[in-house]
Amino acid sequence: MTTAKLSESQLARAVELTQSLRSQVGKAFLGQTEVVDQVLCALLAGGHVLLEGVPGLGKTLLVQALAKAVGGRFARIQFTPDLMPADVTGHTLYDPSSGQFTTRRGPVFTHLLLADEINRAPAKTQSALLEVMQERQVTIEGVAHPLEPPFMVLATQNPLEQEGTYALPEAQLDRFLLKVDIDYPAETDERAIVQQITSAQVGEKLDVSAVKPVIQPETLDKLQRLVAHLTIDEAVVDYALRIVRDTRSFAGLSIGAGTRGAIALVRSARARALIAGRDFVSPDEIKAMALPVLRHRVVPTADLAVEGHGSDQVLAELLERTPAPRA
């Protein structure tokens, strides 16, 4: 797979912007650098992210910090059982003064969209995001309305609570480039978080005042196009394909990943390479992104699920058995 070689100045500028984004987000979302890097990978690859973690780990804070660092338009939708599809995409209204119908655009017309607690809305409302996540357009009353690039959906959900929630359908899950699991922070990071929040501050308001915009949407769009041109050798592409194809025959998985999984793996690996400061993709990037790319696209067998084995454990075993190219 051949692509245009980036100049040294292009690469240096791209790496500088990426590191600035990472630094600014880290001012509000302390610790968990791997989580931040994975979300940045999705941003640079032009994909969407599903953030999963128990309440109180900063999922919403992370999204708000990223939105401020990017400097584009930001919208938030609080998903609830009574949320309607038109509340997401928009609708038409009759204007008595003009005698015509006018289109009122919904919150989805933005650059970064936070779909907070997405699994609290029924499938009918969740499906309102299918077209916009895939086609980057919204159809209202038969008329297609393209979105201004860049566009990214960052959805959150709680993995523990079941009452009042609706599981995301497979077609919806597959639209997310990555599923990022947010775990409990390390002790030193947690201490710093507690000290920051409780120092001269009333309540628990999410504070992103320290975050400064370091990139504009137009520049981000160019950066995404640049990432898409990073060099990746055919042997590395074959490695990604072998991983994805092996999920379909691996004994521990009842359902494997589709072709979109292989595409997502290559796209996110390119972004990971840029974060590492390189203009080419190595097998390490493929392996590093395999879990967030594939964990929501595979299903462990019933026997392993009963024993408490999740998709991450099965995928880790598969990766160990899949040899990476050496040169």
Q: Are residues 130 and 279 in the same domain?
A: no
Give me the mean pLDDT over the 228-239 stretch: 94
The lowest-confidence range among 94-98, 245-249, 294-298 is 94-98
Banded model confidence at residue 4, pLDDT cuts 50, 70, 90:
low
CA dihedral 138, 144, 146, 147 (to 10 degrees): -20
Within-domain flag for 252: yes
Q: What is the pLDDT of residue 159?
A: 77
Within-domain flag for 221: no
Least Cα distance to 140 among 112, 182, 101, 171 occurs for 101
- The CATH number for 201's domain is 3.40.50.300
Query: 307 versus 301: which is more confidently predicted?
Result: 301
Q: Are residues 177 and 287 in the same domain?
A: no
Cβ atoms 67, 25 nearer than 8 A:
no
Q: Are residues 160 and 297 in the same domain?
A: no
Q: Which amino acid is at 127?
A: S
CA dist 223 and 10 (Å) reads 10
Please calculate the CA angle 110-59-186 and round it to the nearest 5 degrees: 150
Q: Are residues 242 and 209 in the same domain?
A: no
Query: 5 versus 198: which is more confidently predicted?
Result: 198
Residue 32 Rama label (left phi>0; alpha psi -120 to 50; beta): left
CA dist 216 and 150 (Å) reads 10
Buried b / exposed e across 159-188, counting CB within 10 Å, b at 16+? eeeeeebbebeeebebbbbbbbbbeebeee
Q: Are residues 242 and 161 in the same domain?
A: no
Q: What is the pLDDT of residue 41?
A: 96
Within-domain flag for 6: no
pLDDT over 80 (residue 98):
no
Within-domain flag for 224: no
Q: What is the pLDDT of residue 283?
A: 96
Q: Are residues 135 and 265 in the same domain?
A: no
Banded model confidence at residue 198, pLDDT cuts 50, 70, 90:
confident
Helices assigned H by DSSP within 46-156: 59-70, 85-89, 123-126, 130-135
Q: What is the pLDDT of residue 35?
A: 94
CA dist 120 and 166 (Å) reads 6
pLDDT over 70 (residue 201):
no
Query: 83 versus 101: which is more confidently predicted?
Result: 83
Instruction: Give the end-to-end CA distance of the chain in Å, rounded to a whole number.
Output: 15
pLDDT over 70 (residue 76):
yes
Cβ atoms 50, 155 nearer than 8 A:
yes
pLDDT over 70 (residue 204):
no
Which residue segment(s) compose the domain that 283 sits in? 230-327
CA dist 218 and 27 (Å) reads 24
Q: Are residues 99 and 201 in the same domain?
A: yes
pLDDT over 50 (residue 2):
no
Within-domain flag for 287: yes
Please calculate the CA angle 200-55-275 and round it to the nearest 5 degrees: 85
Give me the mean pLDDT over the 219-247 stretch: 94
Q: Are residues 307 and 169 in the same domain?
A: no
Q: Are residues 153 and 263 in the same domain?
A: no
Q: Are residues 83 and 31 in the same domain?
A: yes
Q: What is the pLDDT of residue 3?
A: 52
The predicted model scores a pTM of 0.90
Q: Are residues 192 and 82 in the same domain?
A: yes
Structural domain count of the chain: 2
Within-domain flag for 122: yes
Q: What is the pLDDT of residue 74?
A: 92
- Average pLDDT along the chain: 89
Q: Are residues 61 and 85 in the same domain?
A: yes
Q: 250-292 pLDDT, tens per residue?
A: 988 899 999 999 999 999 999 999 999 998 999 999 999 999 9
3-state SS, residue 281 = strand
Q: What is the pLDDT of residue 169?
A: 82
Q: 149-158 pLDDT, tens per residue?
A: 999 999 999 8
